């Protein structure tokens, strides 16, 4: 006989010639020499090299064990005393009941949506994260969710979690802020066959993501084509001079022409403008010559107008002086004063009063 002692928080399994016989709880026991005892710490997971199904036939032993069976399409989150300890995968896992408080949360991976009561902290835990797909949608974005190639739902801003499995998931995002597209280098012929290169811009906002993503492929490229065609339609219907004169009416025409069609794309057009209208080199020289000629003609017109006004003023002054001798004399004195300012000295000789002598000097003899 041999004596075996099982301490607190321990259990012993008795085997005879390799065959399981019974379980020993805390205490001291006398065993036959052919009996062997394997002692287990009940605060640690149960591990054994013996066939578990045979051991579990002992109801007393089975009552002291947690047996967790995990299928291929699921995982089990193992908590010890309220803390996540590990993630159990496919297989059979056994733990002792007693001192350590175990909790097991089973999650099926054969679906996409996470229906289990798991908070964000758990889903982001380093042990769980490899089994989770995470998608972020910004507050200024909207997204459409495709599961297994089929439209599932429209997502607002936020963080979304899905189980990682063989089912494909695709998220298409759209920026709902005001966006801008550039229409640069648009080469267009006017009605009178003048070749122009136009640079323009357009602003828009996506208002219906389901139309934009589900019903149309590359809605932004289609919108670009709408603007391009509307711009060509407008420019091709006007001559060069008329186009330059009506440049301010171009933007309203484009907005009106594109708005309804853009709404069918799920887009609201908010603005359009022309940045540059570039003429060919030869056309630019001709326009410069025309501009110079127009400015010269305007200058000549202004000069002739001023000359006419000056002549008319002189004529009016002459008529007044002819009808008013006193005005004539005042005018004489004015000129005499101007001349005197430029003469340092004047010598007067002969008889007669001074004014008569000056009149003889400055007034031509008839």
Distances (CA, A) of 295 to 11, 288, 298, 306, 320: 112, 11, 5, 16, 38
Q: Please state, for a pLDDT cut of 70, what percent of the chain lies above it.
A: 88
Do residues 27 and 21 make contact, with C-beta atoms less than 8 angstroms apart? no
Task: Find the mean pLDDT for residues 320-342.
Answer: 71
- DSSP string of 55-68? HTTSHHHHHTEEEE
Residue 168 has pLDDT above 80, yes or no: yes
Q: Say if residue 163's pLDDT is above 90.
A: yes
- As a whole number, mean pLDDT of residues 214-240 equals 91
Question: Which pLDDT score, from 0 to 100, does residue 58 have?
Answer: 87
Mean pLDDT of the chain: 85
Query: What's the pLDDT score for residue 24?
Result: 87
* Residue 251: partners with Cβ closer than 8 Å, 6 or more residues away: 271, 272, 273, 274
State residue 229's pLDDT score: 93
pLDDT of residue 123: 94
Two tokens at 315? Answer: 């004529």
Return d(Cα 181, Cα 204) in angstroms, integer: 8
pLDDT at 364: 57
d(CA 56, CA 338): 138
Q: How confident is the model at residue 194 (pLDDT cuts 50, 70, 90)?
A: confident
What is the number of alpha carbons within 13 Å of residue 341 lying toward its C-beta?
Answer: 5
| Residue 243 CA, distance from chain mean position | 34
Task: Write down the pLDDT at residue 17.
Answer: 84
Q: Is the pTM of this model over 0.75?
A: no
pLDDT average, residue stretch 295-304: 78
Nearest Cα residue to 11 out of 21, 1, 29, 23: 23
pLDDT digits over 86-139, tens only? 999 999 999 988 888 999 999 999 999 999 999 999 999 999 999 999 999 999
pLDDT of residue 296: 74
Q: Is the pLDDT of residue 18 over 60?
A: yes
- Segment 43-89, tens digit of pLDDT: 888 888 888 888 888 888 888 899 999 999 999 999 999 899 999 99
Please tell me the predicted confidence (pLDDT) of residue 284.
56
């Amino acid at each position: 006989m041999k004596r075996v002692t099982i301490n607190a928080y321990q259990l012993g399994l008795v085997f005879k010639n390799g065959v399981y016989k019974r379980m020993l709880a805390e205490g001291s026991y006398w065993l036959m020499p052919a009996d062997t005892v394997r002692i287990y710490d009940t605060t640690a997971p149960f591990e054994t090299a013996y066939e578990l199904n045979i051991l579990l036939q002992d109801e007393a032993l089975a009552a002291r064990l947690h047996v967790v069976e995990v299928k291929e399409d699921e995982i089990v989150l193992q908590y010890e005393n309220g803390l996540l300890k590990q993630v159990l995968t496919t297989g059979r896992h056994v733990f002792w009941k007693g001192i350590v408080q175990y909790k097991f949360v089973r999650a099926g991976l054969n679906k996409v949506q996470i229906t289990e009561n798991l908070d964000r902290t758990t889903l982001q835990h380093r042990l769980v994260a490899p089994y989770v797909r995470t998608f972020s949608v910004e507050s200024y974005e909207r997204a459409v969710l495709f599961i297994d190639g089929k439209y599932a739902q429209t997502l607002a801003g936020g963080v979304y979690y899905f189980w990682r499995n063989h089912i494909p998931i695709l998220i298409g995002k759209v920026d709902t802020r005001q966006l801008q597209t550039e229409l640069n280098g648009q080469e267009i012929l006017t009605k009178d066959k003048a070749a122009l290169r136009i640079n323009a811009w357009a602003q828009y906002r996506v208002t219906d993501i389901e139309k934009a993503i589900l019903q149309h492929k590359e809605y932004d490229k289609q919108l670009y084509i709408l603007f391009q065609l509307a711009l060509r339609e407008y420019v091709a219907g006007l001559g060069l001079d008329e186009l330059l004169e009506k440049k301010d009416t171009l933007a309203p025409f484009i907005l009106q022409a594109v708005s309804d069609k853009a709404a069918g794309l799920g887009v609201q057009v908010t603005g359009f403008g022309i940045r540059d209208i570039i003429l060919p080199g030869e056309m630019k020289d001709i326009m410069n010559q025309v501009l110079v000629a127009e400015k010269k003609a305007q200058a000549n017109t202004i000069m002739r107008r001023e000359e006419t006004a000056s002549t008319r003023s002189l004529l009016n002054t002459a008529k007044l002086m002819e009808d008013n001798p006193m005005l004539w004399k005042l005018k004489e004195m004015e000129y005499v004063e101007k001349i005197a300012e430029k003469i340092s000295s004047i010598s007067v000789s002969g008889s007669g009063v001074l004014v008569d002598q000056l009149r003889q000097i400055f007034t031509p003899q008839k």
